[in-house]
Amino acid sequence: MENPGYCSGSFDGLHHPSDDDDDEMVDIAGATLDFSTTDDVPPLSSGGFEEYTTTTGSSSSSSSRAAGMNGTGPSKLVDPLEDPLPGLGTYEDFNTIDWVREKSKDRDRHREITNKSRQSTVALLHSVSDAFSGWLLMLLVGLMAGALAGGIDIAAHWLTDMKGGVCLIGFWFNHEHCCWTSNETTFQERDRCPQWQSWAELITGTSEGPFAYIVNYLMYIFWALLFAFLAVTLVRAFAPYACGSGIPEIKTILSGFIIRGYLGKWTLIIKTITLVLAVSSGLSLGKEGPLVHVACCCANILCHLFTKYRKNEAKRREVLSAAAAVGVSVAFGAPIGGVLFSLEEVSYYFPLKTLWRSFFAALVAAFTLRSINPFGNSRLVLFYVEFHAPWHLVELAPFILLGIFGGLWGALFIRANIAWCRKRKSTILGHYPVIEVLVVAALTALLAYPNSYTRMSGAELISELFNDCSLLDSSQLCGYKQPTNTSETGAGNSLADRPAGEGLYTALWQLALALVFKMMITVITFGMKVPSGLFIPSMAVGAIAGRLLGVGMEQLAYYNHDWFIFKGWCSPGADCITPGLYAMVGAAACLGGVTRMTVSLVVIMFELTGGLEYIVPLMAATMTSKWVADAFGREGIYEAHIRLNGYPFLEPKEEFEHSSLAVDVMRPRRADPALAVLTQEGMTVGEVETLVESTHYSGFPVVVSQESQRLVGFVLRRDLLISIDNARKRQEGVVSASQVVFTEHAPAQAPDAPPPLRLRGIMDLSPFTVTDHTPMDITVDIFRKLGLRQCLVTHNGRLLGIITKKDILKHMAQIANRDPDSILFN
């Protein structure tokens, strides 16, 4: 089965469970364990437990207490907790972690360190280093992510310019750096200097004429295709997980899902290289979303240096939440916006401690990026603006209009993009990702080159649109008719509103064509098998629409000063309307419509531009955009892709409004066979192995007996298999006829009977239970807030069934008239 909407080849050979599986993911036939994993978690082996396991120990604090009560029988018994086994307490790939168990393990570990710290100086120093390790890890993540982001920015700028020409004094200089030292540049043509030559000048010796234009055109297409081909080939050959934005998967991983290798070193290396190539190819994509993935890869790799984070999946996710903030901090130069982005958009569990650490990590990353100075303007922000005219209350109407446009565009884009991604996976298109990328890159380059606004990179275009025209501006967007008298030049560096000239009319036509092109090409570009972010393309669409509306408002005010809406604040010769501000508001509105971000988006926008006094217009547009987009569907683009890929993600923002009960959702249903359970005594090793082999369930409830069905605890399949497999190797006399015992004291046995296998230590003695009449809205809340994998359903203490996260997601899909089988994983 092909996984929908996912990177080609990333799930090849993966076993997909059948629909009647309970909490299944990877089929382990009998006791044969496949511990092969990808690079971010080394394979488990019988030795080197401390070195290899990612999460170990007891299933809960109650299990630890139980282990202490265990006595020793006549022969040497192996207790899985007193003598830890490799892999015990870890999780299979494509499975969900047990948040309660992980947090409980961390509390036990912390309690033990605190108790020991009172006994010796060495233990006290260990306690201090343990407390400090989180801050040290944040420092390293910030430094590494900031350095990588600076390198990506510089390399992308250089390769983007290489499509247009080359620097003669050093091919490693981009266009801007090449002309910095030149004394032969003019103000009107500040980007023209003898040191920088276009490909036409190099090949034909002239930069003018139709032949030179065709040579430049062909070289532009050649470089675009080369960069796109290298990007998709590297992703396909070395790291299939490096494609896409990465934010939908990061959200799913932060909710407790495990995707081995998604945050590994190969993914980091390939994503960093291919992100530069993909952005430089001129495809309609940004590097901001993938930078969040890159920062999370850095955090995951650095987590392996610290035992506390290496061995605990829940603690590691706290670090990944902070890394998501670092990603946005280095992408936009917006550290506070990054922290809010992680809190609002990405994180599932975000305690106060993680907030402080996110803030520190984002600060370090921003400082590192500022030290590298990739933009060469001594500023951290990507699009610094300086608007001189304040906005007026009347302008709220066009700002809200931009919000409506952003909401409509966001809703339309999500529907169109998801439909295209579905088409990609259900047709032959999905089998040829390299050809798809090359066709889209060729189409983009072919259509983009003739229009100067689509030829330039997305960040350059947005910067141009945000720009406020000054007297010395040579941009086409500032092609106004010059004022006839000096009284119209306005105050300071600002200019009075002026009538549009021919240059501006040409620019407006080009921008209108660029808007249509960007809206259409972004739909088919996002989701291809190259790293692709959505922030910059969405902002570009909004900025173009905003600039067009801004110029329209400016001309309306210029020719109609006497209208009642302009009277009193917009007199002739005054600088009333700032088109760059409208572009900024439009960019925020469109990005908000696509992602449904609100608070974090406004903060990112004013950090990004430095336009602190324009918070109210930004808030009005962003909120309007969210309301309009929500009217067509509550899902943002990332949630839509999570659902498309079938990930087990319980959306915290989604309300459960159906009046069903736990008994309606639990399994087994009335027509199903009885629930597979283990009894606390009386079953042999052979019977347990037969039960495990005949099912694909991830865990089994333990009951007093088959007749009473009184619940005792819960055992995970993986822990059970590892314990039996190791007992056969390490404990003398354990055979298929040996009894499996989950009680505190082993029952009396015949003298010639083989020794029992005591597994009370691996059992969770306090599994979460609800009664059969618990409303499902409460059950869903319990799953969301505690991060449960499964919950057992009882009636008067008797076990009736089990509800897993997958059951809840399937039930919610049925209520929403969606295909419940679209939930592929648990």
List, in order, residues 6 or more apart from 158 with CB less than 8 Å away: 172, 173, 174
What's the whole-number mean pLDDT along residues 81-93? Answer: 68
Length of the chain: 826
Predicted pLDDT of residue 484? 58
**Mean pLDDT, the chain, as a whole number?**
82
DSSP secondary structure letter of residue 787: T
Greater model confidence, 86 or 705: 705
pLDDT in tens, 416-430: 999 999 998 888 888
Residue extents of the structural domains in the chain = 397-429+459-469+507-645, 662-816
d(CA 671, CA 143): 58
At 381 the pLDDT is 65
- Pick the more confident residue, 565 or 424: 424
Q: Which two three-digit tokens encode residue 575? A: 């600088």
Q: Rounded to whole angstroms, how far apart are CA atoms 82 and 67?
A: 7
Angle made by CA atoms 764, 765, 769, in degrees to the nearest 5:
90
Q: Using 50, 70 and 90 to split pLDDT, how confident is the model at 658?
A: confident
Mean pLDDT computed over 379-405: 83
Q: Which two tokens stand for residue 816?
A: 């929403």
The pLDDT of 618-641, averaged and rounded, is 93
Per-residue confidence (pLDDT) for residue 305, from 0 to 100:
93
Check residue 233 and give its pLDDT: 95
The predicted model gives 343-359 an average pLDDT of 91
pLDDT surpassing 80 at residue 106: yes
- Cα–Cα dist 607/337, whole Å: 7
Token pair for residue 517? Answer: 């092109």
Instruction: Give mean pLDDT, residues 88-96.
Output: 80
pLDDT tens figures, 33-46: 333 333 444 333 33
141-155, 189-203, 264-278, 431-445: least confident range: 189-203
Lowest mean pLDDT among 177-191, 274-288, 589-603: 177-191
The residue-averaged pLDDT of 69-93 equals: 56
Percent of residues in the chain assigned helix, strand, coil, to nearest 5:
55, 5, 40
- Exposure pattern of 596-617 as b/e (b: 16+ CB <10 Å)? bbbebbbbbbbbbbebeebeeb
CA distance 206 to 4: 50
pLDDT of residue 86: 67
| Model pLDDT, residue 825 | 66
Q: What is the mean pLDDT of residues 515-537?
A: 93
- Minimum mean pLDDT range among 92-106, 195-209, 477-491: 477-491
Which tokens belong to 797? 């203490």
pLDDT computed for residue 382 by the predictor: 67
So what's the pLDDT on residue 297? 95
- What is the arithmetic mean of pLDDT over 142-167? 92
pLDDT, tens digit (0-9, with 9 covering 90-100), for 2-30? 343 445 444 333 334 333 333 333 332 23
In this prediction, residues 190-200 reach a mean pLDDT of 79
Question: Mean pLDDT, to the nearest integer, of 521-525?
Answer: 94
Q: Look up the CATH architecture of domain 662-816.
A: Roll (3.10)
Share of the chain above pLDDT 70, in %: 84
The pLDDT, as a whole number, for residue 671 is 81
pTM, two decimal places: 0.84
Strand partners for 713:
702
DSSP 116-178: HHTT-HHHHHHHHHHHHHHHHHHHHHHHHHHHHHHHHHHHHHHHHHHTTEEETT-TTS-HHHH
pLDDT (0 to 100) of residue 619: 93
pLDDT digits over 258-273, tens only?
Answer: 999 999 999 999 999 9
Q: What whole-number distance in Å separates Cα of residue 656 and Cα of residue 660?
A: 10
Mean pLDDT calculated for residue range 700-722: 90
H helical segments located in 673-798: 685-693, 717-730, 776-786
pLDDT on residue 176: 81
At 759, is the pLDDT very low, low, confident or very high (cuts 50, 70, 90)? Answer: confident
* Least confident piece of the model among 375-384, 487-496, 564-573, 592-601: 487-496
Check pLDDT > 50 for residue 492.
no
Amino acid at 500: A
**Best mean pLDDT range from 48-57, 533-542, 714-723:** 533-542
Kindly tell me if the per-residue pLDDT of 657 is higher than 80.
no
Percent share of the chain, pLDDT over 90: 41
Alpha carbon distance 120, 150 (integer Å):
45
Question: Does pLDDT of 439 surpass 60?
Answer: yes
Cα–Cα distance between 31 and 718 in angstroms, integer?
9
Q: According to the model, what pLDDT value does residue 490 have? A: 47
CATH architecture of 397-429+459-469+507-645: Orthogonal Bundle (1.10)
Least trusted range by pLDDT, from 151-165, 376-390, 623-637: 376-390
Q: Is 480's pLDDT higher than 80?
A: no
Give residue-wise pLDDT tens across range 805-822.
Answer: 888 888 888 887 777 777
pLDDT of 78 > 90? The answer is no
pLDDT tens, position by position, 304-317: 999 899 989 999 99
Confidence (pLDDT) at 44: 34
Residue 641 pLDDT exceeds 90: yes
DSSP letters for 217-260: HHHHHHHHHHHHHHHHHHHHHH-GGGSB-SHHHHHHHHTTB--T
Comparing CA positions, the residue from 414, 708, 389 lying closest to residue 538 is 414
Q: In this predicted model, which residue has the larger pLDDT, 480 or 225?
A: 225
Residue 750 burial (10 A CB sphere; 0-12, 13-18, 19+): exposed
Asked if 244 contacts 216 with a C-beta cutoff of 8 angstroms, the reply is: no
What pLDDT band is residue 791 in, cutting at 50, 70 and 90?
A: very high
Whole-angstrom Cα distance, residue 158 to residue 178? 11
Give the pLDDT of residue 238: 93
Distance of alpha carbon 417 from alpha carbon 463, whole angstroms: 26
CA distance 824 to 818: 14
Summarize the confidence of residues 633-652 as an average pLDDT: 88
pLDDT at residue 826 is higher than 70: no
Confidence bin at 624 (pLDDT 50/70/90): very high
Of the ranges 100-109, 178-187, 652-661, 714-723, which one carries the lowest mean pLDDT score? 178-187
Specify the pLDDT at position 802: 92
